[in-house]
Amino acid sequence: MAPIILILNGPNLNMLGTREPATYGHETLADISKLCADTAAELGLSTEFRQTNHEAELIDWIHKARGRCAGIVINPAAWTHTSVAIRDALVACELPVIEVHLSNVHKRETFRHHSFVSPVALGVICGLGSGGYRAALQHFSHLVKE
Ligand code: DQA
């Protein structure tokens, strides 16, 4: 069976398409989900794509990935800047993690410059829009073949 990459999206990302299009573009989360599914099919990966506005739910999904998935792509959205609990869950699951942001958070407000997730991530991609999800999956396809 193809290795499973879990793709997790945090709060307000269900609003993409209509949410601050000047910052996040016009693509919807369904468009990004399709891009990830198409990319995974090209690369021989299997993906599960999820979004939640509830931090506890995201933490439960991270725990359940341990031993089941080959890696996690996560856009923690606003929880990036606030959540020690998500950081700790990512460490506990012992999987490689790639952090993705649609926007370049370093060009934005200073409160977005700090991430609790980045120090425990394998890598961070920001500012490339949905291309960041695609790049993260491409990296995982190399990693699982090593
Ligand atoms: C975001 C950046 C975060 O600062 C913000 O809270 C989001 C989206 C991004 O994808 O650019 O909700 O993670």
DSSP per residue, 24-71: H-S--HHHHHHHHHHHHHHHT-EEEEEE-S-HHHHHHHHHHHTTT-SE
- Range(s) of the domain holding residue 47: 4-144
DSSP letter, residue 95: -
CA nearest neighbour of 77 among 130, 13, 25: 13
Rounded to 5 degrees, what angle do the CA atoms 116, 9, 68 make?
90
How far is the centre of ligand 1, averaged over its atoms, from the C-alpha of 77 (Å)?
4
- We report the CATH number of the domain holding residue 63 as 3.40.50.9100
DSSP letter, residue 141: H
Pairing assessment for the beta strands 71-75 and 97-101 based on DSSP bridges: parallel
> How confident is the prediction along the chain (146 residues), in pLDDT tens digits per residue?
789 999 999 999 999 999 999 999 999 999 999 999 999 999 999 999 999 999 999 999 999 999 999 999 999 999 999 999 999 999 999 999 999 999 999 999 999 999 999 999 999 999 999 999 999 999 999 999 87
* Cβ neighbours for 27, distance < 8 A, ≥ 6 positions apart: 16, 17, 129, 130
How far is the centre of ligand 1, averaged over its atoms, from the C-alpha of 43 (Å)?
27
Q: What is the pTM of this model?
A: 0.97
Residue 26 marked in a binding site: no
- Number of Cβ atoms within 10 Å of the Cβ of 142: 9
CA nearest neighbour of 73 among 95, 106, 43, 105: 95
Which atom of ligand 1 is nearest to 77's Cα? 13
Active site residues: 24, 101
Q: Specify the pLDDT at position 116.
A: 98
Helix (H, G, I), strand (E, B) or coil at 77: helix
Q: How many domains is the chain built from?
A: 1
Pocket of ligand 1, candidates 9, 32, 75: which has the most ligand atoms within 8 Å of its Cβ, to mutate?
Answer: 75
Q: Whose CA is nearest to atom 3 of ligand 1?
A: 77
Q: Whose CA is nearest to atom 1 of ligand 1?
A: 77
Distance set, CA 99 to CA 1, 63, 90, 127, 140 (Å): 25, 17, 11, 12, 12
